[in-house]
Every structure is written in structure tokens, then in C-alpha cells.
Amino acid sequence: MLAIRFTRISAAAFVALGSAILLGDGPAQAQDVLKVGAPLPLTGPLSPEGLKQKRGYDLWAEAANAKGGIKAGGKTYKVEIIYTDYASNTPRAVQSAERMITEDKVQFLFAPFGSGATKAASAISEKYRIPMLAPSASSQEIFDRGFKYIFSTLTGNETVSEPIAKLVAAKSKNIKRVAVLARNDLFPLAVAQEFEKAVKAQGMEVVTSERYTIGAMDHSAAVTKMRSANPDWVYASGYINDLILIRKQMNDLGLKAQVITMIAGPAYAEFANTVGPLAENITSMSWWHPAVRYKGADVFGSTEAFNAAYAKKYGGEADYIEAGSAACGAILQMAIEKAGTIEPTKVRDAIAATDADTFYGHARFNAGGQINALQPPVFQLVGGKPVLLWPDAIKTGELRLMPK
């Protein structure tokens, strides 16, 4: 299967560049190109998530170019993102990353989707000493290898497990029995394991812990087993297509609980739009939400400005993947401008030293490259829309239990 390669430059940036040339504007004529490679699953089962990342990357690139590009070392660089479709196949993501470095000569990389593909592809960025920024990787296994060139805009999996466990425990002492269903993949499995630890710390019992294979199209056996365990709380991890199917089969097979939690599908509007009334009162966690309000030194400048730019280009509101993808670009741009060069190792050092406010929140990375200065919100879907339950600073409602 042939790889698909294409670049995207905003119409506004193109027109601005053309006008500058016609007017004889020296700096615009001298503009160089900054190449960023982005292998993405633009087709296959992970394509909904891959397209989200692309939207975020494109929004940042257009914002940077519309404001004149990235300035470093007396030069001005126009952003060019090179995409490759790896068709939801992790080995192809790794191959694409290497080809982008060796053939396309990209100076930086944006990560593929998910912890598994990011972990695999980060070995390539480490090999060539090319910084890779990841908007959808949170599993600790990526960041405990001593790698120096991988950075993620997602906090650790425990940060989307412990708050909701405490929230539910405080709401009702009668919720004791927890059933877990997890996709047998790096992130969904790791986040489910962190969740199990979190609920056990609150005195709850995990009465069944099931796994399903990547690409599974039938969860009836696992759902039936979970129903037999008579849980008070059902938790399922996976990606949006997995969780849509699981929620429908839970309904078909009569699996009910006072709390149903899913991660990460309900963070996307497509989940509620697809399952309709079955989304009601589903709880979930998200690493970012458009209701947060941050001021930043990045190209967007504030959460409100980012939200407005997203709504103008795509309509609706961004979710955490789209925002995190744009944040990867914003952080990369800040690091390049701080380093005064596009030399990858020096930019890597500037990213590692980042300690700054952005539209996405405060950006600071631990030694392994994972952002560690954010509080991922807990929310519940009510009427198809998220109601924020935690943290208190952005809280818009109280946890609602479901009839069992």
C-alpha cells in the first residue's frame, strides 16, 4: 500500500507570503522552511483519532504562519507539516517516522496516535536525535526508558484515575463492586490498571477484570461475565470505536451500574452523537477541556483565542487531542524561538527546560519528557454535553448516579 504524503499551508499564510514577495518585502523573501513530520492513522480503525491530531497540528501551523512564521537566529521559518498515513498499523508508523527523517529531511516530529505507536516511533526519534512531541501518549512505559527526545502533553495515567475514584467514593459509600474491561493495548491497559489501583485504595473491590483484543468486534462474552458479577461501577477503556460498541452491547445485554466510566471516547463529541441516549450520565476524564481558562506566551495567547480559532476553522469545540496537538506545535515554536536555532539537539534542550504558560495550561516536563503541571478534568455527559465535576476551579455540576 502506498503511503500518502501531503502538506498543508493555510490560504491566509499563502496570500500573505505572496503579497510580501510582490511588495519586495525582504524578510518574507528570505523565509526558510521548517519541516515537521507527522505520521498519522488517517485510515483504518484509529482514523477518527488521527484526524483529530491533524486538525490540531494544522491549526497551529496556520496560526504560526499567519503571524509571520517562526523567528530564530535572524531567520524566519514558514511551517510545513509533512503527513504520512500509516493506516492504523504501528510498524508502518515506525517506518514512516524513519523515512521522514532520512528522506524528507524533517527537523522535528509530531508523534503518531496513542501510547503504543508513540513508544515504538520514539525509538526512531531517539536514534536520530530528533525531538518528537506527542499529544496522545500518557503511559509510563514510554517515559521510564531514559530517552531524551520524546515529550508528551499528557500527564500520567494515574492523574485520570485517582480523582474520579475519590469523587465516586465521596459520593456514595454503597459503591463497592467494580468491573473493568480494557483493550489489550499499551494505553488502554495501563490506564485500566491505574484505575484498579485507585479504586482499591478507596476500599472498593475489583470483581472482574476483562481484556479484549485490538480490533475486537464482539464484547458479548466479557459483558455477560461482567453482568454476572453484579457490579456497582463499570469501567471500560479503549478508543472511540471500541467504546461505542461496548456501550451498545452493554445496553443490549442488560449490564447496568450506578456509575459507568469510559475512557477516552466520551471526551469526543462523536461518542454522544453516535450512541445518543446511551451516553447519558457516562463519566470520563479528559486531559484538557475548552472550559479551562489560561493565558499563555504561545502563538494562541489564551484558551479563549484558541477556542475561537478552532471554532472558526472547524466549528464546535476542540477536545483534548486536538488541543494537545496544537499545544505540541505551540511548545515547539516557543522552544525554537528561545533556542534561537532550529538545530534539533539545542531545541530539544529548550523543550526540556520549558516552564511556561500556554493556552493549554502550564507546560513543564519531568525528566522522562512527560508534562507534569496539569490537572485533567473529570466530567459526566448530561444531555449529550459534558458537565465538569473536578477540579473545583472549573466545576459546573455534581456527580449523578445511574439507576441500576
Residue 16, pLDDT score: 42
What DSSP letter does each residue of 115-156 carry, written as one string?
A: HHHHHHHHHHHHHHT--EEESS---HHHHSS--SSEEESS--
The pLDDT, as a whole number, for residue 6 is: 43
DSSP for 41-108, please give it.
--SSTTHHHHHHHHHHHHHHHHHHHHTT-EEETTEEEEEEEEEEE-TT-HHHHHHHHHHHHHTS--SE
Contact 137, 119 (CB under 8 A): yes
pLDDT tens-digit profile of 126-159?
Answer: 999 999 999 999 999 999 999 999 999 999 999 9
Residue carrying C-alpha cell 463499570: 234
Using alpha carbons, list the distances in angstroms from residue 174 to 70, 182, 217, 280, 403.
56, 24, 33, 21, 13
Q: How large is the average pLDDT for residues 367-386?
A: 94
At the topology level of CATH, where does 158-286+377-394 sit?
Rossmann fold (3.40.50)
Class of domain 5-155+290-364: alpha beta
pLDDT in tens, 347-358: 999 999 999 999
Computed over every residue of the chain, the mean pLDDT equals: 92
Question: How many angstroms separate the CA atoms of 153 and 111, rounded?
Answer: 11
CA distance 383 to 267: 14
* Residue 9, pLDDT score: 41
Mean of pLDDT values over 271-292:
95
- Cα–Cα distance, 3 to 343 (Å, whole number): 28
Banded pLDDT at 404 (limits 50, 70, 90): confident
Q: What is residue 40's predicted lDDT score, i.e. its pLDDT?
A: 98
The DSSP 8-state label assigned to residue 365 in this structure reads B
- Long-range contacts of 68-71, Cβ-Cβ distance < 8 Å, separation of 24 or more: 68/16, 68/28, 69/31, 69/34, 70/34, 70/333, 70/336, 70/337, 71/337
pLDDT digits (tens, 9 = 90+) for 228-248: 999 999 999 999 999 999 999
- Over residues 9-29, the pLDDT tens digits come to 443 443 343 433 333 333 333
**For residue 31, what pLDDT is reported?**
64
Comma-separated ranges of CATH 3.40.50.2300 domains in the chain: 5-155+290-364, 158-286+377-394
pTM for the model stands at 0.85
Q: How confident is the model at residue 324 (pLDDT cuts 50, 70, 90)?
A: very high
